[in-house]
Amino acid sequence: MDIGHRMKELRIQYGLTQQELADRSELSKGFISQLERNLTSPSIGTLLDIIQCLGTTPAEFFADQEPEQVVFRQEDYFMKEKEESAVKWVIPNAQKNAMEPVLMTLAPHGSSDVHLPHEAEEFGYVLKGSIRLNYGSSSYVVRQGESFYFDAGKKHSIENSGNREAVVLWVSTPPSF
């Protein structure tokens, strides 16, 4: 099996750039490029991490056709943590879908990355705490049990100005996280 070709095929199928896959798997873009061109071989651990970041399992990666997963559990989730925030992909292979739901957890006084304008629609539902949604030059307070929805054509981010953790279910269509 041509691992590099299969990896590139899945990355493109899921709409990821080499940089996005590198970020998710905590590797360099150059290393991903070398893997896809079969100029280097990954360790088993690195390959398993990449396979997880591509939203698949080793069995599906090495199989000829992908079975469709319907139910996702904690062990399927992929998480990227930073000091102020954590993003949990609750549908790990959402890159291939029309929408991408994530759980964003913001530490007290933490914030998300600033997302530059792009073609997408964004929906969020605050599960815990409250957040400030920065959208273009406007700012909105969104509390637990409230939601937001906007066209992503303006710069946007969320921040937690409170003293307690905030958790937001954030859905983007098409996938953009």
List, in order of start, the domains of the chain with CATH numbers.
Answer: 3-62 (1.10.260.40), 74-173 (2.60.120.10)
Residue 55 pLDDT: 86
Q: How high is the mean pLDDT in each 10-residue block of the chain (177 residues)?
A: 88 89 92 93 92 89 71 85 87 79 94 90 96 96 97 94 94 82
Residue 66 pLDDT: 53
Q: In 129-165, which positions are buried (b, 16+ CB within 10 angstroms) versus exposed (e)?
A: bbbbbbbeeeeeebeeeeebebebeeebebbbeeeee
98-146, pLDDT tens digit by residue?
A: 888 999 999 999 999 888 888 899 999 999 999 999 999 999 999 999 9
What the block records as the tokens of 4 is 């590099």
